Amino acid sequence: MAGTIFSLALSQQMDSQGKPLLNAPLFVYAANTSTPADTYEDYGLEIANPWPLRTDGNGRLPPFWLEDGAYRARLTDEAGAVVYFDIPFVQALGPSEGSEGGGGGGSVDADAIFQTGDMKWRPTSGTLTGWVRANGRTIGSATSGATERANADTQPLYEHLWNNFSNAVCAVTGGRGVSAASDFNANKSIAIYTMRGKGQRGLDDMGSSAAGVLTGGTPTVAGSSSGTEKKTIAKENLPSYTLPNTLDISGSQSGGLVRNLSESKRNVDGGPAANVVDDISFNTTTLSIAGSITSGGSGESINTMDPYMLGTFYVKL
């Protein structure tokens, strides 16, 4: 059944000077953790609020409902610099399941609820309410000029991307400032990481030592990518093989060639040398080669991908 956290819903929050806290985030987590918990617009727990909740132009928090259970509630100023309260354990108050006077639907399986930044794939194209496509385009405020979605409801995902991915993966238009909230309020857009034409793989380490299965790119950095649809085989990657044709070699002698060499010999009595011509013959052999070795192959790239079905990756706002 649904409950809420004492008097926070519809309450007005003030700073130390008694001025309303504008756009201040209320972070709701599972009790004693930093695991975000969903809040809902309706008692039936069907329409999820953005995370975190934020005060309006009068410093008032919106109405919200939660599943029965315990939570942590943390309120800061807009930039996250000042913490006004951080309550590690508070019970959501509401009628217990089965109590008379209750209503509005049954309990919701927490595992069935998507959180900001979660991804899903559908074998469809087009947009989806509450989600944006992981297509490399941008999100931001209503006046940011973002190309995928420009609306205030993108702020939770904006902050998720800003805090979890480097500017090389999710670039902020005009460069990153001091915080995600300040960049969003400055109407800077941020790029969504792209899954166009890509599949999914686990990090090579995932909190453990690298498995060494993936070697391309930076396999231990979330958001990095590598791989290609086709690859040309290098010579050193060819398997060992025997040529299919043989080479016939036959020889034939072309005949002897005679070369005349002059040789000087000195007389025994010490007289002047006499020139004597000796004939020295050299035989040479000319070999004729018959047959050929056939070349093969075309150099075409091979397909490295399994059969696949195409669809769209969506990211939760």
Q: pTM to 2 decimals?
A: 0.49
Write out the E strands in the chain: 2-3, 25-30, 53-54, 66-67, 70-76, 83-91, 119-122, 131-133, 138-140, 149-150, 190-191, 230-231, 248-252, 256-265, 274-283, 286-290, 302-303, 312-316
Is-contact 77 14, C-beta < 8 A?
no
Q: How far apart are CA 50 and CA 184, in angstroms?
A: 15
DSSP per-residue string spanning 244-265: SS--EEEEE---EEEEEEEEEE
Vertex 111 angle, CA 9 and 83, to 5°: 40
Nearest CA-CA partner of 63 in 16, 5, 106, 13: 5
Q: Is residue 152's pLDDT more than 50?
A: yes
Q: What pLDDT is recorded for position 55?
A: 93
Q: What pLDDT is recorded for position 216?
A: 75
Q: Is the peptide bond before 52 cis (omega within 30 degrees of 0)?
A: yes
Tens of pLDDT along 217-253?
777 777 667 777 777 887 777 777 766 655 555 544 4
% of the chain beyond a pLDDT of 70: 72
Is-contact 73 96, C-beta < 8 A?
no
Is-contact 224 217, C-beta < 8 A?
yes
Distance of CA 138 to the CA centre of its chain: 16
Tell me what the pLDDT averaged over the chain comes to. Answer: 78
DSSP 280: E
CATH number of the structural domain 1-97: 2.170.14.10
Q: How confident is the model at residue 188 (pLDDT cuts 50, 70, 90)?
A: very high
Nearest CA-CA partner of 131 in 111, 145, 105, 151: 151
Sequence-ordered list of residues with C-beta below 8 angstroms from that of 265, at least 6 positions apart, any chain:
273, 274, 275, 276
Q: How far apart are CA 44 and CA 30, in angstroms?
A: 20
Is-contact 74 82, C-beta < 8 A?
no
Q: How confident is the model at residue 154 (pLDDT cuts 50, 70, 90)?
A: very high
Q: How far apart are CA 64 and CA 49, in angstroms?
A: 8
Domain ranges of the chain: 1-97, 119-197+312-316
Q: Summarize the confidence of residues 111-138 as an average pLDDT.
A: 87
Q: What pLDDT is recorded for position 125?
A: 86
Nearest CA-CA partner of 229 in 281, 155, 176, 306: 306
DSSP 296: -
